[in-house]
Amino acid sequence: MKQSGTSALLQGAVQDLASGVASALRGGGHPSREPLDAPLRPTGDLDLAAARVLGADLLLPGVLDGTPPGPLELDLAQRAFDAYPPPATAAPTVAWSHWALGRALYRVTGPSGSAPASGRVPEPGREPDASWLTGAPWPSLTHHLAVLAPLALPGEDCALARVARGRTLDVARGFVRAVRRRDWYQAAGAGRWLAVLPDVPHTLGLPAGLDFVELMGGDDARVLLQVRAARLIGSGVTV
C-alpha cells in the first residue's frame, strides 16, 4: 500500500509539472512563467523524481523561445539532472532521456541565459547509442520515440532524431495505431515527432489528428503538453 501511495503521489506531481508546462505553451511560446513556477515547492525527493520523469520538457518553453526559464524550474531541472545519473546498465530510453535533460539545461544556460542556482552549466556529454532503434519494428519504434518526445525539436540533429527522420512513414503508422488503440500519450508523442519529421503524408491529417487526441486524452497533462508542443513546433517556431 505504501508503494502504491507513493506511486500515486509521484503521478500527481508529474501531472502538476506537465500542466504548468502546457499552460506556458498555450497560445505559443512564452506567455508567462507564473503558470510553471506556481506548482513548484522546495525540492524534496518527490519533486526531483517528478522532474526527472518529465525530463527535458520541464524546460521546453525556454528552449523554444530562447528566454531563460524561471529560477525555480531551472533549479529543479538542474537538481534532477544531478540526482539521477543513469547507470551503465540503464535502458537506452533512460540514457537518452537523461542526455536530453542535460542538453536542454545547456541550451537555456548558455552565454545569454541565466545559470542554475548552483552556478554550474552541465555539458550535455556524448550522445548515447541509437543503433538499437535503427531496425526496430514500427510499433516499437513509435513506442520508444513517444517516450523520447522531448527530443522532437526543430533542427535537432542527434543520432536518435536522425533515425526518426529516416522513418517518417513508420512513425505515421504508429500514430494511427496509437489513436486506434486509444493510447493518447503515445499518440501525442508520435504526433510531436511528426511535427518535425520530413515528408509527412498529407493524407494523415495530422492537425485534425492532434485535435482528436487532445479531445480524448487532454485530461492527462502529459498528453496536453505534447499536443501543444506539436502545434507550436508545427507553426514554424525555431530553436
Lowest mean pLDDT among 73-77, 119-123, 174-178, 195-199: 119-123
Q: How far apart are CA 122 and CA 101, in angstroms?
A: 10
Q: How far apart are CA 32 and CA 186, in angstroms?
A: 28
Is residue 152 over pLDDT 50? yes
Q: How far apart are CA 224 and CA 221, in angstroms?
A: 5
The cell for 61 is 518553453
**pLDDT value, residue 39:** 54
What does pTM read for this prediction?
Answer: 0.89
- DSSP character for 199? S
Per-residue confidence band for 35, with pLDDT thresholds at 50, 70 and 90: very low
**pLDDT value, residue 69:** 82
Per-residue confidence band for 44, with pLDDT thresholds at 50, 70 and 90: confident
Per-residue confidence band for 26, with pLDDT thresholds at 50, 70 and 90: confident
What is 24-58 written as a DSSP string? HHTTSS-S-SHHHHTT--S--HHHHHHHHHHGGGG
Is residue 98 over pLDDT 80? yes
| Cβ atoms of residues 176 and 191 within 8 Å | no
Q: How far apart are CA 202 and CA 211, in angstroms?
A: 16
